[in-house]
């Protein structure tokens, strides 16, 4: 894509690109701990809620992960 056409792209394109860049950066920073952005999001939800069910976590995260990914997130040992 040439530079002139990029200014014509819809906002959704730029939001998706920004999200990809943020995720890539956070994943790189957290990789030493064997964590990802989604792991951090779940841990942050638990921290903020104190007590939260897996169903509540899935409800909040369902836009970002499917049930199998959520299961993998919940099996992280720290």
C-alpha 59/C-alpha 39 separation (Å) is 15
Residue 47 covered by a domain: yes
Q: Could you tell me the pTM of the whole model?
A: 0.68
DSSP 8-class letter at 51: S
Residue 25 covered by a domain: yes
pLDDT digits (tens, 9 = 90+) for 31-55: 999 888 988 988 899 899 999 888 8
Full residue range of the structural domain in which residue 21 is found: 9-74
Give the chain's domain count: 1
Residue 78 has pLDDT above 60, yes or no: no
Residue 20 covered by a domain: yes
The answer to whether residues 2 and 37 touch, using CB atoms and an 8 Å cutoff, is no
Residue 2 covered by a domain: no
Residue 1 covered by a domain: no
């Amino acid at each position: 894509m040439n530079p002139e056409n990029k200014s014509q792209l819809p906002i959704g394109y730029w939001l998706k690109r920004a999200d990809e860049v943020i995720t890539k950066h956070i994943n790189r920073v957290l990789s030493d701990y064997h964590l990802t952005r989604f792991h951090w999001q779940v841990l942050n939800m638990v921290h903020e809620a104190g007590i939260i069910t897996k169903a509540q976590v899935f409800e909040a995260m369902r836009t970002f992960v499917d049930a199998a990914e959520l299961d993998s997130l919940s099996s992280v040992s720290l």
